[in-house]
Amino acid sequence: MPQIPDKLYFKIGEVAALLQLKTHVLRYWETEFSVLQPIKSRTNQRLYRRKDVETALLIKELLYRQGFTIAGARKKLQEEKQLGLPLSNPHSSAKLLAEIKTDLIQLRSYLLDTPPE
């Protein structure tokens, strides 16, 4: 996962370079995903906030690595939003799942009085 620089705003070219995408892909995603809405400057230039960059990273993960369709990724993002979950990056979600798994194994071990696997 790329390191996001500590800036308030990013131009579309910077975000595209960071995500290793073409700028037209980001513009297309803006039309398909309502959660990706960069602000526009007085000169009509797109300015992405950090949360927009993180959202774009999540969209890329869902589409390119997890194999979701546009509709499937849109539904997944909408479900997370409805559940009140922050749109997090998939790596932190994987970390959370790993922690939950560890806790469940320890709980099972405690309940069954057996050593954890």
Give tens-digit pLDDT for 45-101: 999 999 999 999 999 999 999 999 999 999 998 888 777 665 555 555 666 777 788
The domain locations on the chain are 10-85
The string of DSSP letters for the chain reads: -PPPPS-S-EEHHHHHHHHT--HHHHHHHHHH-TT---EE-TT--EEE-HHHHHHHHHHHIIIIIS---HHHHHHHHHHHHHTT-----HHHHHHHHHHHHHHHHHHHHHHHT----
| Domain 10-85, architecture per CATH | Orthogonal Bundle (1.10)
Q: Is the pLDDT of residue 28 over 80?
A: yes
Residue 33 pLDDT: 95
